[in-house]
Amino acid sequence: MYRDDGFRELDRQECLRLMARAPVGRIVHTRHALPAVLPVNFCLDHGGAVLLRTAAASELVRAVDGVVVAFETDEVDTVTRSGWSVIVTGRADVVTDPAEHARLCRVGPRSWAPSPAEVFVRIEPELITGRELIAGHTLRGTRLPF
């Protein structure tokens, strides 16, 4: 959350409520020492953990397993120039517990294109921040990049 950009900060409950209605977010990490970002579908688990489902052999899994990542969702109305964004920051881990994997097969995100060997990745919500821009709103005289 940037303190000088004039947006209204959202509290944790508002963030989770908004995220729950977003079908797709973007996982932000580092790849080959460069910033990397990938859109993925997801769902929320207990306590605001983010769940992804992907191929066990995917490069994404190798890049994010055990690493602190950011996961961003947003919704923007370009006509009214308003919108919100929510970012979950925390460690990503492949779910290795068989019982937990079985549970997530029932309640976790569905693949948009299934593959034979899939894993779930859980992002722990160590930090949840969000902000909202109401149409044309400016606070404290700052200029908004949004």
Residues that bind its own copies (CB under 8 A): 2-6, 23-24, 26, 28-30, 34-41, 52-55, 57-60, 68-70, 72, 74, 76, 78, 81, 83, 85, 87, 89, 111-118, 133, 136-138, 141-146
Instruction: Tell me the sheet residues that pair with 121.
Output: 52, 94
CB nearer to its own copies: pick between 20 and 144: 144
The SS3 call for residue 15 is helix
The SS3 call for residue 66 is coil
Rounded to the nearest 5 degrees, what angle is found at the Cα of 41, between the Cα atoms of 39 and 46? 125
The closest of 57, 52, 1 to 27, measured between CA atoms, is: 52
Query: What minimum distance in Å lies between the beta carbon of 125 and its own copies?
Result: 14
CB nearer to its own copies: pick between 20 and 24: 24
Query: What minimum distance in Å lies between the beta carbon of 144 and its own copies?
Result: 4
